[in-house]
Amino acid sequence: MKLLFASGPSLNTRLLIVVLVSVVLLAVDHRSSRMDGSRSVLAILVYPIQVLVSLPVEVAEQAYETVISYAELKKENKRLKKKQLVDSVKLLKFAALENENIRLRSLLENSFKLGEQVLVAELLSVNLVPYEHVVVVNKGSRFGVHKKQPVLDANGIVGQVIRSLPLSSEVMLITDPNHAIPVQVNRNGLRTIAIGSGLLDRLNLPFLPNNADIIPGDLLVTSGLGGTFPQGYPVAVVEEFTARPNQPFADIYAVPKAKLDKSRELLIVWTDSTPVPLTFPETKTEVETEVEVKVESSENVSE
C-alpha cells in the first residue's frame, strides 16, 4: 500500500533541480567551449520549429503588403486613366486649335494677296432647305457689311452677301441654283457664266459650244463683269467636258475651288473697282438673251 501511494519529489524540489542544472550548464558554457557541439546540434533540431513558428507571421505580413500594394496600384491606375482622358481631350483641342491657326494663316495670306480691305467672319449656321445654299456669318451692317459683297475662303470664291443684318449676314454660295457668276478661263480668257447646280461640289457651264477652247483642268476665275466680283478671283476648276453633237452646247461642269462644306472662317471683301455692267449687242441672239436673263435673275435674288 505504501508503494501505491508513494510520490516523487515535490514541484518545488523539481524546479530547484532544473534551476541548479541550468546554472551549472551556463557556467560551464561560459568558461569552456565544450557545449558548442551540443548547441549546434540543438540549433539544427530547433530550426524547423522556429521556421514553422515564424511562417504565419511572415505570410500575414506579405499578404498585408500585397493587399496594400494592389489597392495603391488600383488607385494609381484610376488616377492615370483620368489623367489620360484629360490629356486626350486637351490634345484634341490643341489639334483643333492648330487646324484653326492654319486656316487663319491661310486667310491672312490670302488677304495680303488680294490687296483689298477684308473682314474675317465665322460661320454661324447653314440653311437646311434643300437646294438653297445659304449660310449665316457673324458679321453684319455694324461692321460695314452690305449686299453684293464678295465672300471668299483661303481657296477661292464662296459666294456673295444677299442680306445684311446688324449682327449677322446671309451669304448665298456659288453652288446655289439661283446663283450665276461671270467667269473666264484663266488659260485663254474665254468668258462664260457659271451656274449653281444645287450640289456643293459642282458648277455648271451651260453656255459654251461644243468647239469651245476649254479642257478639264482649266482654272476658272472671275471675269469682273457684272460688278459684284472683281476680276481674277479663283472660282472653280473644270472637271468634265462632254461634247453633244446634236445640241448647241457642250455639257461642262467644274468643281469649286473654295471648300464650301468645310470652311468655318470666311473673308468678306471690300473693293474699289468700278462695277462693269454686262453689255450685249443691240441684236441679241437666243443664247445671249438666255445668258442675260440668268445673270439678271441672279442679281434680283441677291437683292
Between 267 and 300, where is the model more confident? 267
pLDDT digits (tens, 9 = 90+) for 278-294: 333 344 444 444 545 44
From CA 4, how far away is CA 66, in angstroms rounded? 62
Residue 173 pairs with which residues in a beta bridge? 159
What are phi and psi for residue 76, nearest 5 degrees?
-65, -40
Q: Among 106-115, 190-199, 236-245, 260-269, where is mean pLDDT lowest? A: 106-115
The grid coordinates of residue 115 equal 490687296
Higher pLDDT residue, 62 or 175?
175
Greater pLDDT, 119 or 5: 119
Average pLDDT, the chain: 79
Which one of 63-77, 83-97, 230-244 scores highest in mean pLDDT?
230-244
> pLDDT higher for 63 or 288?
63
For residues 249-258, one letter each, b for 16 or more C-beta atoms within 10 angstroms of the residue's C-beta and e for the rest, the string is ebebbbebbb
Q: Has residue 57 got a pLDDT over 70?
A: yes
pLDDT at 184: 93
- % of the chain beyond a pLDDT of 70: 72
Higher-pLDDT residue of 269, 56: 269
Residue 127 exposed, middle or buried by CB count within 10 Å (0-12, 13-18, 19+): middle
pLDDT at 215 over 60: yes
Q: What is the DSSP string of 70-118?
A: HHHHHHHHHHHHHHHHHHHHHHHHHHHHHHHHHHHHHHHHHHHHHTS-E
Q: Residue 251: beta bridge partners?
A: 242
Q: For residue 69, is pLDDT > 70?
A: yes
Q: By mean pLDDT, which of 10-14, 188-192, 235-239, 242-246 is the weakest?
A: 10-14
In angstroms, the CA 107 to CA 118 distance is 10
Q: Which of 24-28, 220-224, 277-281, 295-299 has the highest mean pLDDT?
A: 220-224
**Residue 183 in this model has a pLDDT that exceeds 60:** yes
Q: Where are the domains of the chain?
A: 48-112, 118-269
Segments in the chain forming alpha helices (H): 11-31, 36-114, 286-302
Cα 256 to its chain centre, rounded Å, is 24
> Rounded to 10 degrees, what is the CA torsion of 75, 79, 81, 85?
160
Of 62-71, 174-183, 251-260, 290-299, which gets the smallest average pLDDT? 290-299
What is the predicted pLDDT for the residue at 84?
76
Backbone φ and ψ for 212, nearest 5 degrees, come out as -65, 145
- Entry pTM: 0.59
- Cα–Cα separations (whole angstroms), residue 210 to 135, 244, 245, 288: 35, 7, 7, 16
Q: φ and ψ at 56, to 5 degrees?
A: -60, -35
Smallest CA-to-CA distance from 137 within 105, 167, 157, 109 is with 167
CATH architecture for segment(s) 118-269: Beta Barrel (2.40)
Confidence at residue 137, expressed as pLDDT on a 0 to 100 scale: 95
Over the stretch 85-119, which tens digit does the pLDDT of each residue have? 667 656 665 666 676 677 677 666 665 555 568 88
Q: Determine phi and psi for 163, rounding to 5 degrees.
A: -155, 130
pLDDT tens for residues 132-165?
899 999 999 999 999 999 999 888 899 999 999 9
Decide if pLDDT at 168 tops 90.
yes
Contact indicator for 108, 124 with CB cutoff of 8 Å: no
Cα–Cα dist 125/134, whole Å: 9
pLDDT at site 181: 96
pLDDT for position 162? 95
What is the model's pLDDT at position 56? 80
Give the helix, strand, coil percentages of the chain, each rounded to 5.
Answer: 40, 25, 40
Q: Which three cell numbers stand for residue 207?
A: 453656255
